[in-house]
Structure 1
Amino acid sequence: MFSIVNPFNKTFLSEHQYFTGAHVKKILQNSSETAENWSSTNVQHRLNFIKTLVFALTKSQQNLAERCSLEMGKPIKQSHAEVEKCRLLCEYYLKNAEEYLKNKQIATDGTESFVTYEPLGVILGVMPWNFPYWQVFRFAIPAIVAGNTVVVKHASNVAGCAILIEELFRDAGFPDGVYTNLLIAGDQVKEVIDNPVISGVSVTGSEKAGTSVASAAAAQVKKAVLELGGSNALIVLEDADLEATVPVAINARFQNTGQSCIAAKRFLVHSSIYDAFMEQFIKGVAELKSGDPMNEDTYIGPLARVDLAEDVQKQVDDSVAMGAKIVIGGKRSNAFYEPTVLTNVTPDMPVFKDEVFGPAVPVVPFDTFEEAVELSNKTEFGLGVSVFTKDVETLKTKISLFKEGAVFINAMVKSDPALPFGGVKRSGFGRELAKEGLLEFVNVKTVYIK
């Protein structure tokens, strides 16, 4: 038995019991039996259920947003935006999935050759708490549209959100077993992966969780997609428009109270504009309103748990002990951590070399573009990078220098249903979203006719 507590005011929200092993086996068997029928339906039939799901999302948006804000502290406006993004994802696949899953004709020396895309079966999703709806939808929707069924082990501190997601699929009329919430503890995941019913695994979360899941999947020779941590650089070149750049930079670091794998976690600013950037940036950070996530004007809420705020505090304090300077912020109160900006930071400090999953950011000057690239790549992660410049054409010729899954020019790194999403190095492997994400959990079958 475990309880969920509101990170803002410590009030009790709900109590839950993890499923027993026997219950889990029944769920997996049911999902497997459903997969046999679901996989044989045509794409348009599956998409009809997605259409209904869009209506269910719209009808339940307020309830979904409030539960998210209560359970993990996301400011309510951002919770609404997250639910809306799930709807946009559904609409993207409604428009494109049928074309993406069509047989592909190939010219060979045979009379006919083509490729088909067939579902694998039951796919396990291991999902995080920071975007409790979006992370699940970007995994589950393409997998289900491709003809798979899914079981989802969500983060325990957003168990209420997990239950609401399952209810959405039920309200939309999906066959029982297409989407199932798997309320299990972390130490039960390996047993699920080992079950012959599971054909693949997708995990979004920490590097530790990803390596554990990937190891278990590899031992069973099962497909895995890993979307893990990131330490994205945000690079401001000498010719950048600061008036346009600074607001984006603030959002890139502090949205969702800094709890995002693709947040800009290291700022690199050309030395010639460093002081001007810092003046505008600090002013903007000072104006961010912290408070009750349920208030419409709150931008910074609590971190999802007290221990997460303590982790950020330690990373900042350890960096200060090594010589970093706090320009603004640096204080913690329970799960709240002030928006914090540090200078005098070197690459060996925790706030630079580790992923900081909260509202703290180092700002480091550089003198040359080559130095900026070197600093940007000086990380074990490779999820994305943002670069701000007026000379877009020149920068386009240098994109290959960045060892990342994504390069965003004059914009913050974000996930978009139309663009493949994922990283390299210790940020994981595989892709979500777009056509690439739709085809992750399919059997790409070659057919050759002489």
Structure 2
Amino acid sequence: MPLSLNPATEVRVAEYATHTPAEVEAALAAAATAQRGWRATPIAGRLPLLSAIARELRSGQEEFARLITQEMGKPISEARAEIEKSAWTLDHYAEHTERYLAAEPVASGATESTVVFEPLGVLLAIMPWNYPFWQFFRFLAPALAAGNGAILKHASNVPACATLLEEIVRRAGAPEGLCATVLVETEAVAGLIADDRVAAVTLTGSTQVGAIVAAQSGAQLKKHVLELGGSDPLIVLADADLDEASTVAVRSRFNTVGQSCVNAKRFIVDESVADEFVELVVAKAGALVVGDPLDEATAVGPLARADLREVLHDQVLRTVAAGGVLRLGGKPVEGPGFFYPPTVIDHVTPEMAAFTEETFGPVASVTRVSGTEEAIELANRTEFGLGAALWTSDLDEARRLVPLIDAGAVFVNGQVGSDPRLPFGGIKKSGYGRELGGYGIREFVNVKTVWFGPAVTA
């Protein structure tokens, strides 16, 4: 049963009843009906809805941010930023969809050929709890703009956010039923995927769940996009600006309490500068305020669930037992709430848990390397391939190294992140397909060839 539990206090906020099969059936039927009308609306006629949703988000930003914080523990300042980023994404597609989906004439001799982009239908979105608004709207904005409908199956620990998302879209003026939330248990997802009214599936979640959804979608021969786990390297070469690199490394590792697929998780540092870099990271991470996520001064709130803290602490213990050197943190905070302090482990080697596994929480590992080639080799020594950061003052060297890094995105001298203007997604076990930008909106359209032969006269 979906449960809203404040992870900072462990106080139960609300419990939600799962939807009955009849309610799920009604949602699917309504979405299919609404989408048939929506797809007939020209692109220019769809875009005002996106702008209206953005206005709803901005007008209710404080209310929505507090709900995010109370339900999954994100510091309030980051929750506000999540709402604004969601609105920005809606604005982006309101402005650029006509260009992204413009018909493309193709030269084909005497005949007339065109490639057009048409909606697929109702899309099933299986979304995670770490960005309960942003993850949904980065899917929904291009989906609606392209003429699709949406059924949301959100994470079970953010049911209040899930139900509010449907309400926000409805208040903005969406056709009745075009976007609906269904509160169902995990076991019901296979039935949703198999339903003929669901045309395609998108998932953001763990690699393990991604494999299951991929198998279920594949069995139904349905298009799917997977954005899965990550163990992003942050590579610091000998000539990097260490003060700036350490500042961004701390921000990149500990934002969202370390619970993001594109947090920098493995700091891979040239041994000639490692001592200085580690001291900077330890000092800056140690200055982060841990506490009530509704307090404006808090930088690190609680983890979202008790089991996540248990898994994270086990990874820390196994890494230290294998020889990692604990420089900061490393012990759950006593008292109510699922708090874990900013933690830094130095001298991590490739066989240790903090290197080989995704650490989904405020734990940074530091691996020392003897040069650039070893740094790249260890950066790629992972089953994941979502993002990577490279720090160097030699941009020519950076241009040489970027093609050698296995990742869906490489950020040079900056923090890896998502941006509605740029495609986002991974390789290897970080998934496949892309979200955002022009590539993202074309994932869930029918790329249709239209060919006209010479006219025949009577």
Correspondences of 1:110-189 after superposition (within 5 Å) = 110-189=110-189
- TM-score using structure 1 length: 0.99
Deviation at 1:324, TM superposition (A): 1.2
Alignment pair present for 1:366 and 2:405 = no
Alignment pair present for 1:352 and 2:367 = no
Deviation at 1:15, TM superposition (A): 1.1
Partner of 2:250: 250
Partner of 1:260: 260
Partner of 1:274: 274
Root mean square deviation of aligned Cα: 0.9
Partner of 1:393: 396
Distance (Å, rounded) in 2 between the aligned partners of 1:393 and 1:178: 49
- Which range moved further: 51-60 or 297-306? 51-60
Deviation at 1:2, TM superposition (A): 4.1
C-alpha distance 2-442 of structure 1, shift in aligned 2 (>3 A): closer
- Which range moved further: 391-400 or 27-36? 391-400
Alignment pair present for 1:241 and 2:232 = no
Contact (CA 8 Å) 1:316, 1:351: kept in 2 or not? yes
- Which range moved further: 13-22 or 284-293? 13-22
Partner of 2:320: 320
Partner of 1:382: 385
**Contiguous gaps of at least 5 residues in structure 1:** none
Partner of 2:456: none
**Contiguous gaps of at least 5 residues in structure 2:** 454-458
Distance (Å, rounded) in 2 between the aligned partners of 1:276 and 1:10: 39
**SS at the partner of 1:26?**
helix
Deviation at 1:66, TM superposition (A): 0.3
For 1:424, which of 422, 427, 434 is the aligned residue?
Answer: 427
Partner of 2:340: 337
**SS at the partner of 1:212?**
helix
Partner of 1:436: 439
Partner of 2:415: 412
Which letter does structure 2 place at the counterpart of 1:41? Answer: T
Deviation at 1:21, TM superposition (A): 1.7
Alignment pair present for 1:200 and 2:207 = no
Distance (Å, rounded) in 2 between the aligned partners of 1:100 and 1:246: 38
Partner of 1:54: 54
| Total equivalences in the alignment | 450
Deviation at 1:152, TM superposition (A): 0.4
Contact (CA 8 Å) 2:2, 2:159: kept in 1 or not? no
- Which range moved further: 93-102 or 407-416? 93-102
Partner of 1:40: 40
**SS at the partner of 1:269?**
strand
What's the CA shift string for 1:124-174, capped at 9, x where partnerless? 000000000010011111011100000000011111111111111111011
Which letter does structure 1 place at the counterpart of 2:75? Answer: P
Partner of 1:101: 101
Deviation at 1:252, TM superposition (A): 0.7
**SS at the partner of 1:180?**
strand
Deviation at 1:53, TM superposition (A): 1.1
Distance (Å, rounded) in 2 between the aligned partners of 1:423 and 1:223: 17
What's the CA shift string for 1:64-111, capped at 9, x where partnerless? 100000000000000000000001101111111011111111111242
**SS at the partner of 2:408?**
coil
- TM-score using structure 2 length: 0.97
Which letter does structure 2 place at the counterpart of 1:329? Answer: G
Contact (CA 8 Å) 2:425, 2:432: kept in 1 or not? yes
Distance (Å, rounded) in 2 between the aligned partners of 1:356 and 1:8: 20
Deviation at 1:320, TM superposition (A): 1.3
For 2:405, which of 402, 406, 414 is the aligned residue?
Answer: 402
